[in-house]
Amino acid sequence: MIEGAIWRRWVFFYVPLTSFIVLLLFPFYWMVITTIRPDGELYRPWNSIKYNPFWTWHPTLDHIRDLLTQTLFMTWMLNTMIIALSATAISLFCGLLAGYALSRLRFPFAGSLGTAIFITYLVPQTLLFIPLADIIRNFRLGDSPWALILTYPTFLIPFCTWLMMGYFKSIPKELEECARIDGATRWKAMLYIIFPIAVPGILSAGIFAFTLSWNEFLYALVFLSSPEEKTVPVGVTSELIRGDVFYWGELMAGALLGSIPVAFVYSFFVEHYVASVTGSVKG
C-alpha cells in the first residue's frame, strides 16, 4: 500500500485506478444503453438541451426484437458457434498431441520443429489472407463453414501447442516412468496418466481458442460471401448497415448479444483465461 497521508492514497491509487476502469468499461455501458434506448431519444444531436445521454426512462426491447426477427442474427450465432467449437476441438486435439511430443519425446529435428511452430504462432493473418483466399477457392471450400473450420486452427494450434508444452514440462517425468515400469506402453502412459493431469491446461487452451475463433474477422470476411453463411462479427458489420444508413440501436443490440457467448464462457473460467493469456507470452 502507498505510505503516508490519505490524500496520497487517493491521488496515486484510487483516482487513477477508477479512471482506468471507467474508461475501459464505458464503451460496453454505451452498448447496453444504446440497445435499450428508443430511437426517438437515440438520434438527438449532442448539443441539444435537456439531453441526458447516460440514462433513459423509456427502456425498450424493440431493437433486440428487430434484430432477432428481421435479420439473420440467430443464423450467424449458430454458424459462429459451430465454427468456433469445431476449430477449437481440432486445435486442442492437434495441440495436445504436438505439445506432448515436443516436450516429452526425443527425436531428430525436435528443436527445429518446435521453433517452426513457434514462428507460425507469430504469423499474422494479414500476411496470408490473399493467397489463402485463392487456395480456398481452388479447394472449392469458399463460402462454407469448412473454410474457417480448417483455417482457424492455423493460429490456434501454435498457441495450444505452446501452452500445452509449458504445462507438460511442469508434470514430473517420474510419473510416466512409474507407469511404464508397471507395464504401461508409452501410448497408454500418455493417454491415461499424463493427459488426465493436463486437463486444467487443456481447459485454458480451449477457452482461449474458443474466444479467439469467435473474434476472428479477416478470414471470415474474405472467405464467406452469402449472408446466411456469415459469422457474427462479419454479419453484424456488413449486413446490418444498409447502404449508408446505420441502425445504431440494432447494431448495438447485435454487438451486445454477439458478445454474450464469449463473456459467458469468460465469466465462468476467468482464472483459466488469465492463466492462458499470461502463458501465451511466456518465453
Partner 1 sequence: MTFTTIAAPRAYVGSPRRGPITRLLEDERWLATLLLLPTVLLLGLFIAYPFVKGVMLSVTDTRVGVPGHFVGLQNFVNVWEDGIFRVAVWNTCVYTFLATVFKLVLGLWLAVLLNRHFRGKAITRAFILLPFIIPTVLSTLAWKWMFDPTFSVINWGLFRLGVIHARINWLGDPNLALISVIIVNIWRGLPFYAITLLAGLQTISPELHEAAAIDGARAWQRFRHVTWPLLLPVTLVVTLFSVIQTFADFQLVYVLTGGGPANATQLFATYAYQIGIGTGLLSQGATISLAVFPVLLLVVIFQLFYIRKAEVH
Q: How many residues bind partner 1 (CB under 8 A)?
A: 105
CA atoms lying within 13 Å on the CB side of residue 222: 16
Nearer to partner 1, 98 or 205 (CB): 98
Contact 102, 157 (CB under 8 A): no
Cα(first)–Cα(last) distance of the chain, in Å? Answer: 31
Q: What is the C-alpha to C-alpha distance for residues 101 and 88, in angstroms, rounded to an integer? A: 20
The reply on whether position 146 binds partner 1 by CB under 8 A is: no
- Figure out which of the listed residues 157, 205, 209, 224 binds partner 1, where binding follows CB under 8 A: 157
**Position 200 contacts partner 1 (CB under 8 A):** no
Helix, strand, or coil here: 242? strand
Q: Where are the beta strands (DSSP E) in the chain?
A: 241-242, 245-246
Among 45, 174, 242, 243, binds partner 1 (CB under 8 A): 45
The x, y and z cell numbers of residue 85, run together, are: 467449437
d(CA 258, CA 73): 9
Give the Cα separation of 97 and 160 in Å (integer): 10
Chain positions 8 to 27 lying near partner 1, rule: CB under 8 A, are 13, 16-17, 20-21, 23-25, 27
Q: For the segment 98-127, give every residue that binds partner 1 (CB under 8 A).
A: 98, 100-102, 105-108, 110, 113, 115, 117-120, 122-127
Residue nearer to partner 1 on the CB measure, 125 or 144: 125
Q: Is residue 245 close enough to count as binding partner 1 by CB under 8 A? A: no
Interaction pattern, residues 49-68, with partner 1; x per rule: CB under 8 A: --x-x---------------
Answer yes or no whether residue 186 interacts with partner 1 by CB under 8 A: yes
